[in-house]
Amino acid sequence: MVDFRSIGTIHTEYKRKEGVPIQGSFSDAKGWVEVLPEYAEGLKDLDGFSHIFLIYHFHESSGHSNLVKPFLDDEKRGVFATRAPRRPNPIGLSLVRLDRIEGSRLFISGVDIIDGTPLLDIKPYVDRFDRRDGSRSGWLEKRVGAGKRHFADGRFS
């Protein structure tokens, strides 16, 4: 048995799935994370990091598919070769900029998350640990255009 508890809530301007940027790198949107009081002490020293990973529950995702038609493609792909929300375990991961911390509230930007999303964990982004030289992006290398903005179109609603 796996048991996860929310440690807080992510708040954003996005009230519906449609129109949400499909990745934070396509977003200038701001938001905030309200960490529950019993976890606030865990935020100590986080203010020295420019970016954080938010790990969260895709609370509005229903069911899963092993093959999905991702946002940047019209061909069905294996779910594990995408970042589509219909996953066997509806867990999301976003890299956001940490703008500031006020008490148990984190102010963030580069948001690609629906308002009211349950937060499962926070991890600091560390360039030396997380960036990989020579990495490949599979089928996405031909799909992600510099300067283009991509938003959810409702295909997973």
Record the pTM: 0.81
Q: What is the pLDDT of residue 155?
A: 47
Cα 115 to Cα 15, 105, 118, 126: the distances in Å are 5, 15, 9, 26
Q: What is the pLDDT of residue 139?
A: 59
The domain limits of the chain are 8-142
Q: For residues 35 and 129, which has the higher predicted lDDT (pLDDT)?
A: 35
Among candidate residues 126, 121, 123, the one with its CA nearest the CA of residue 55: 121
pLDDT digits (tens, 9 = 90+) for 36-95: 999 999 999 999 999 999 999 988 777 888 998 877 677 898 999 887 888 899 999 999
* Position 106 pLDDT exceeds 80: yes
Considering the four listed CATH numbers 2.40.30.70, 3.90.1580.10, 3.30.9.10, 3.90.230.10, the one that applies to the domain covering 8-142 is 2.40.30.70
Amino acid symbol at 66: N
